[in-house]
C-alpha cells in the first residue's frame, strides 16, 4: 500500500506542473483534461471555462508520485495542515530548491542548519503548497 498526495490547484494545475518540472526536475507521467474524458461529467458540474483544464495529472518528483487536478472550483486553492517534505542530496541542491520554491511564495522557516538537519527550510510556494526542504543530519537518530 502507498499513500500519495493528491493536490487540487483550482485552475492552476498546468502552471504548477510546469513550475515543478522547471525547479524540481519533476517528470510528468500523465495529464488528462476534462474535455478528453471518455465520458462527460454530470451537467453543471464543471465551472465555466474549465473544459480544457486538468482533470487528472501525475508527476514524479525525485521518484515520488504527486497527483493533481484543477478540481471543480475556480476559488483559490487552500492547502492547509500539511507540507510536502523534499529530501535533497546535498546543501547546494537543497538551497536551489528552497530558493526556487520561495520565489513568489513565502518563507515559513529560514534555510539553515538545525540539530536534526544539515540543511533545512520551510516555504509555501506561489500556489500555496507547503514544502520542507531537508538534508538530514546523519548523526541525529532522534529522541
Q: Examine the pLDDT at 2 and tell me if it is beyond 90.
A: no
Check whether residue 71 and residue 5 sit in a common domain. yes
pLDDT at site 86: 97
Q: Do residues 84 and 116 share a domain? A: yes
3-state SS, one letter per residue, for the chain:
CCCCCEEECCCCHHHHHHHHHHHHCCEEEEEEEHHHCCCCCCCCCCCCCCCCCEEEEEEEECCEEEEEECCCCCCCCCCCCCCEEEECCCHHHHHHHHHHHHCCCEEEEEEECCCCEEEEEEEECCCCCEEEEEEECCCCCCC
Number of domains within the chain: 2
What is residue 112's predicted lDDT score, i.e. its pLDDT? 97
Tens digit of pLDDT for each residue in 70-101? 999 888 888 999 999 999 999 999 999 999 99
Instruction: Check residue 43 and give its pLDDT.
Output: 85
pTM score of the predicted model: 0.92
Reported as a single tens digit per residue, the pLDDT across 4-47 is 999 999 999 999 999 999 999 999 999 999 999 998 878 888 88
User: Residue 81 has what pLDDT?
Assistant: 94
Residue span of the structural domain in which 123 resides = 79-143
Question: Can you give the CATH number for the domain in which 138 is found?
Answer: 3.30.720.110
Query: Do residues 67 and 56 make contact, with C-beta atoms less than 8 angstroms apart?
Result: yes
In a shared domain, residues 72 and 83: no
What is the CATH classification number for the domain harbouring 66? Answer: 3.10.180.10
Say yes or no: 63 and 33 in one domain.
Answer: yes
For residues 41 and 59, membership in a common domain is answered with: yes
- The 10s digit of each residue's pLDDT in 48-63 is 889 999 999 999 999 9
- Among the candidates 76, 91, 126, a domain finishes at 76
Amino acid at each position: 500500500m502507498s499513500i500519495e498526495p493528491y493536490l487540487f490547484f483550482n485552475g492552476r494545475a498546468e502552471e504548477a506542473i510546469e513550475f515543478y518540472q522547471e525547479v524540481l526536475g519533476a517528470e510528468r507521467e500523465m495529464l488528462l483534461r476534462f474535455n478528453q474524458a471518455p465520458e462527460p461529467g454530470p451537467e453543471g458540474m464543471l465551472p465555466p471555462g474549465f473544459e480544457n483544464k486538468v482533470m487528472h495529472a501525475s508527476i514524479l518528483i525525485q521518484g515520488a508520485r504527486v497527483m493533481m487536478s484543477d478540481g471543480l472550483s475556480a476559488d483559490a486553492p487552500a492547502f492547509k495542515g500539511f507540507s510536502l517534505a523534499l529530501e535533497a542530496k546535498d546543501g547546494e541542491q537543497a538551497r536551489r530548491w528552497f530558493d526556487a520554491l520561495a520565489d513568489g511564495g513565502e518563507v515559513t522557516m529560514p534555510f539553515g542548519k538545525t540539530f536534526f538537519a544539515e540543511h533545512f527550510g520551510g516555504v509555501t510556494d506561489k500556489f500555496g503548497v507547503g514544502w520542507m526542504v531537508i538534508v538530514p543530519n546523519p548523526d541525529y537518530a532522534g529522541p
